[in-house]
């Protein structure tokens, strides 16, 4: 989506995404130049965080209105790809993710993902068989 095509709310949500994640130590610079130059981009914003166990990738897709969230285990085979459709606000999801970013490990990440379910409608996980709804 182009910057001029986004609603005022969409632009506010994008700004929150970049500010909150940037202040939490995420690299948020990847999509800024193309977006500001009025290129048609998808996702409209993205951020990467390198934690002790997982590298995290979060991207905001204004249309159709979801966050893609990848957890990539740095020293192992696990890669989890999620689509988070916010029940209320994407800001709640962003806050929950930044609160957990430094504590995620191979043992607790399934419980963390379960904690996101109540904030999503729906939360989808990418599998070899396609997208599956988590409940």
pLDDT tens digits for the chain (135 residues)? 666 677 777 788 888 999 999 999 999 976 566 666 566 667 788 999 999 999 999 999 888 889 999 999 988 777 899 999 999 889 999 999 999 999 999 899 999 999 999 999 999 999 989 999 997
The boundaries of the domain holding residue 8 are 3-134
Chain-centre distance for alpha carbon 10: 15
Chain-centre distance for alpha carbon 94: 7
Q: What is the pTM of this model?
A: 0.88
Number of domain units in the chain: 1
- Tell me the two tokens of residue 73: 């285990």
């Amino acid at each position: 989506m182009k910057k001029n095509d986004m609603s005022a709310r969409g632009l506010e949500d994008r700004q929150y995404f970049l500010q909150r994640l940037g202040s939490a130590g995420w690299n948020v610079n990847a999509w800024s130049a193309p977006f500001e130059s009025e290129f048609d981009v998808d996702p409209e914003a993205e951020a990467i965080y390198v934690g002790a166990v997982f590298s995290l990738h979060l991207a905001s897709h204004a249309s159709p209105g979801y966050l893609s969230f990848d957890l990539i285990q740095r020293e192992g085979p696990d890669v989890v790809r999620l689509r988070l459709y916010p029940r209320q606000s994407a800001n709640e999801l962003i806050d929950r993710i930044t609160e957990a970013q430094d504590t995620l490990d191979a043992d607790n990440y399934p419980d963390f993902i379960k904690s996101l379910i109540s904030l999503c409608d729906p939360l989808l996980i990418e599998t070899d068989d396609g997208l599956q709804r988590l409940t």
